[in-house]
Chains A and B, each alone.
Chain A
Amino acid sequence: MAATANKESETSGQLSGGRLVELYRTMVLSRHLDERVWLLNRQGKAAIAASAQGHEAAQVACIEATDPKKDHYLIYYRQFTAMIALGTEPEEMLRGFLARDGDPMSAARQFPLHGAHPRVDLFNFSNVIATQLPQAAGVALADKLRGKDAVTIVFFGDGAASQGDTHEAMNFAGIHKLPVVFFCENNRYAISVPLSRQMAVESIASRAAGYGFPGVTVDGIDVVAVHEAMTAAVARARAGEGPTLVEVQVERLLPHTTDDDHTRYRTPEDIAQMLERDPIKITAEMLKRRNLITEAEDEQIHSEAKKRVNIATDTVDAEPYPDVGPMFDHVTMASQGRS
């Protein structure tokens, strides 16, 4: 961890300066909206939230390396920034968190970030950890059988790395050289259990060797480095060469969810060190150092994001909850409209 902590990629890879600023803009919008959701939780309006604060750089860089017009995204509950990077409007995000009628993912049947995206092939069926990995292998298998040019990106955390489904999925994807990228956001905590109590090895990526495909570990607060690793992994998948496991080392700046308190299990030193690795701060410094933005422009990016979040909050807060009637819909095709 420490060895890679503040190492900055020397090149911008395939990212132009202008694109880097746009990615930063998405990260900042995500941060302000994420903060707002926690506020809404404390106000009693959002029942539950899992934050992506600390994961923003990794998620924007990951999405940037993919093609939303043809790729598939199997997320879990922490891909808040990835959702925004894929064009989800703040209002749409808030409808999920506030369980409003217009929630585009599941019509507020499910927790936020669960269901299916209205425009991109992004979905998240459940809260059960790692179930999306075998499903991702199936999605990729279907593409491979039909010769489709599409890559499946499946997101999971260090916690999911311990599940049997993770092993079963990677093993199968390796055998059949499926066009899938396993994107592991390692924030070193499965709720309260630290990495040292989850596995005897330090690198999750090292496990890829056991499945016959490459695994790389990247500093997840470095937008350029994550983008480079993902670009290589996606290119490999598109070329029919098989899966890659991309492990990004990120920080979980907030507790697991709004129902958690990480001071119960993290030391003050650990928390202080983690805050030093805030990707918003690190990315802003990098952009300023490269003269891609000025201090004033940074302030403007933040104030625009805040304004956008305020508008979305006012809009969605006034919207209704779903009625009882629709809860009987879509159990099965045959049961449609029957209660």
Chain B
Amino acid sequence: MPEMTVIEAVRETMRAEMRRDESIILMGEDVGNRGGVFLASDGFVDEFGEERVIDTPLAESLICGLALGAAVNGMRPVAEIQFADFVWPAINQIVGEAARVRYGTNGAKSAPMTIRIPYGGGVRGGLYHSQSIEVLFAHTPGLTVVAPATPYDAKGLLASAIRADDPVIVLEHKRTYRLIKGEVPDDDYTVPIGKAEIKRPGSDMTIVTYGLMLHYALQAAATAMELGIDVEVVDLRTLRPLDRETIIESVSRTGKVLIVQEDTPAVSISSEVAAIIGEHCFFDLDGPITRLGPPDIPPMPFSPIQEAAFMPSPEKIVSAIEKLAEL
């Protein structure tokens, strides 16, 4: 089984899907001859041609409106937003339009489109190359939002997204692109949308997380084990719809929960997960529902000391684990 980075898994999955289905086209800024700024479509123009790998003008609303129009007319577009921080001009075409196509036409039309969005910080990206933008999409009925953290899940969830008959937002954490390696089977498999995964079983408490924070949580759990605390780590993988069953089952069993996210905590994924646990696990809890996230300031400072202070880290997670374990 070959070992790949996250970005390699993304690239090979898109390549395989485009070979399998001629209705799949790519569109975005610099996706053509440049192969994408992260090289997600490196070499695609040579294999699939300029007609299927479309360098768009610098216009995010166009990219998503174009994808939507092509999707309702028989194609399966995969749009790339170069950086999550640049998605805001396209919000109307995604949240206002694409998300409501099926509902607003009473099922007569659907938009089988994928929007890949590199997101997240800890990369010296400053205020406009570091943002986490998942909440707005995860709030929106009609959208599906996935956030794979490993090469295996990147392949399986991207394949599921491309094959889905509705708009799917695929959030790829930039820091994981080349940092995270893992085994990716050659065969054609998918990871189901809406299914979280217990990435590390444990008995003393549950960490619920996603994205880059999964890897920090796994490091923290290994350290905690040396301190005698057995931590279970749940990777949400899909942010909408949330896998309520896996969250509830794990937290009910361990009795304690720490929700870790890189996004600012106010009205966020961790808020929703906390609400689910509060409603369904109340009598099984042995401590308060706890959350670890960055401070409530605009993500995130460019200067290195401040950026590090902003980002959650394995060390900060270990401290939160120890504190929760003592309660």
Taking Cβ atoms with an 8 Å cutoff, the residues of A that contact B are 72, 105-107, 109-110, 114-116, 118, 123, 125-126, 128, 131, 133-143, 145-146, 164-165, 168-169, 171-172, 175, 329-335
Contacts and interface: CB of A to CB of B under 8 A. Distances in A.
29 contacts: A72-B73, A106-B104, A106-B105, A115-B105, A115-B108, A118-B108, A123-B105, A125-B97, A125-B101, A128-B96, A131-B97, A134-B64, A138-B71, A140-B69, A143-B73, A145-B25, A145-B51, A164-B89, A165-B62, A165-B65, A171-B59, A171-B62, A172-B62, A329-B106, A330-B103, A330-B107, A331-B141, A333-B102, A333-B110
Nearest to B144: A332
B164 interface: yes
A33 to B, nearest CB: 23
A141 B107 contact: no
Contacts of B73: 72, 138-139, 142-143
Contact of B104 (A115, A133, A135): A115
Nearest to B143: A332
Given A125-B104, A137-B62, 15 more contacts: A115-B106, A128-B92, A134-B93, A135-B65, A135-B97, A136-B69, A138-B67, A142-B70, A142-B73, A143-B73, A171-B62, A331-B141, A332-B102, A333-B110, A334-B166
A106 B106 contact: yes
Contacts of B108: 115-116, 118, 123
Contacts of A123: 72, 105, 108-109
B61 A134 contact: yes
A139 B67 CA distance: 9
B48 to A, nearest CB: 11
Interface in B58-87: 59, 61-62, 64-75, 77
Nearest to B240: A332
A72 B109 CA distance: 13
Contacts of A115: 104-106, 108
B117 to A, nearest CB: 18
A331 to B, nearest CB: 5
Contacts of B66: 134-135, 137-138, 141, 172
A16 B248 CA distance: 71
A168 B96 contact: no
Contacts of B25: 145
A330 B75 contact: no
Nearest to B69: A138
Interface of B: 25, 51-52, 56-57, 59, 61-62, 64-75, 77, 89, 92-93, 96-97, 100-110, 141-142, 144, 164-166, 193-194, 241
B308 to A, nearest CB: 38
- Where chain A touches its partner, the secondary structure class is mixed
Contact of B57 (A106, A126, A143, A171): A171
B75 to A, nearest CB: 5
A36 to B, nearest CB: 25
A126 B100 contact: yes
A329 B69 CA distance: 23
A139 B75 CA distance: 9
Closest 6 CB pairs of A and B: A138-B69, A134-B65, A168-B62, A135-B69, A330-B107, A142-B73
Given A126-B97, A131-B65, A331-B142, A168 B104 contact: no
Contacts of B64: 134
Contacts of A134: 61-62, 64-66, 68-69, 93
Nearest to B102: A330
A295 to B, nearest CB: 44
B70 to A, nearest CB: 4
Most chain A Cβ neighbours within 10 Å, of B71, B74, B75, B104 = B104
Contacts of A141: 66, 69-70
B75 A142 contact: yes
A219 B232 CA distance: 71
A335 B110 CA distance: 13
A110 B104 CA distance: 6
Contact of B105 (A72, A116, A133, A137): A116
A140 B99 CA distance: 21
A329 B194 CA distance: 19
Given A135-B65, A138-B67, A172-B57, A333 B104 contact: no
A131 B93 contact: yes
A131 B67 CA distance: 12
A330 B110 CA distance: 9
Given A106-B105, A134-B61, A139 B69 contact: yes
Contacts of B164: 333-334
Most chain A Cβ neighbours within 10 Å, of B66, B70, B92, B103 = B66
Contacts of B194: 334
B287 to A, nearest CB: 33
Contacts of B89: 164
A139 B66 CA distance: 7
Given A123-B109, A142-B74, A333-B110, A169 B103 contact: no
Given A134-B65, A333-B110, A168 B59 contact: yes
A126 B62 contact: no
B102 A126 contact: no
A141 B52 CA distance: 11
Contacts of A114: 104
B110 A131 contact: no
A106 B57 CA distance: 34
Contact of A169 (B62, B92, B101, B142): B62
A133 B65 contact: yes
A172 B93 CA distance: 16
A239 to B, nearest CB: 19
Given A106-B105, A110-B104, A165 B68 contact: no
Contacts of A133: 65
Given A126-B96, A131-B93, A138 B61 contact: no
B220 to A, nearest CB: 33
